[in-house]
Amino acid sequence: MQLPDAEQLAGTLAEQIRPLLDDGAALVGIHSGGAWLAQRIRDLCGADVALGMLDISLYRDDFSRIGLHPQIKPSHIPFDVENRHIVLVDDVLYTGRTIRAAMNELYDYGRPARVTLAVLVDRGGRELPIEAQVVGACLPLTPQQNLQLLRDEGGKLSLKLYEGA
């Protein structure tokens, strides 16, 4: 399957997000792929945009089945969430469970004025009523396929598709 170029897609996503940032919105990336993307979008949209990162491990809905993730990163929201427009950024939107967890965590920092969801790829397969407002590309995949965003040492982004569960 021909995968879209992640670098190019990140550029398109940034163009779509840029006008949304006029109201003082903050970018919040979801660890790890979404955090890389949010960083990239800020680099493209201007250094004065507030940037945060969420690791949703403490809010996952499958903790009682699989336990705690072996490598949690501290979430880092260095600004006031209260009454602020938050642009939540993730790499791949699938079941919607990660976004549910991220919104729950975000609310523990304060009550945002508005939350917009921006994703690089929407791969379908939703299990919750969650949709992205900004989408880089739609790429329907089967449950056996696993799409991941990678970042090499030079900071270059790429998409990789793993076949088979």
Binding residues (CB under 8 A) for another protein: these are: 55, 57-59, 63-64, 66-68, 70-76, 81-82, 104-105, 107-110
Whose Cβ is closer to another protein: residue 82's or residue 163's? 82
Tell the smallest beta-carbon distance from residue 12 to another protein (Å): 33
Shortest Cβ 165–another protein spacing (Å): 21
CA angle 69, 74, 80 (to 5 degrees): 135
Q: Give the DSSP H or E segment for 9.
A: helix 6-17
Q: CB count, 10 Å around CB of 19? A: 9
Phi and psi torsions of 144, nearest 5°: -80, -15
Nearer CB in complex with another protein: 74/140: 74
Provide the 8-state DSSP code for 103: H
Q: How far is the CB of 136 from another protein (least distance, A)?
A: 29
- Pairing between β-strand 85-93 and β-strand 51-54 as defined by DSSP bridges: unpaired
Closest contact distance (angstroms) between CB of 87 and another protein is 20
| Relative orientation angle of helices 33-45 and 6-17, to the nearest 10 degrees | 60
Q: Identify which of residues 31 and 40 has a Cβ nearer to another protein in the complex.
A: 31
Using the minimum distance from each CB to another protein, give the nearer residue, 71 or 144: 71
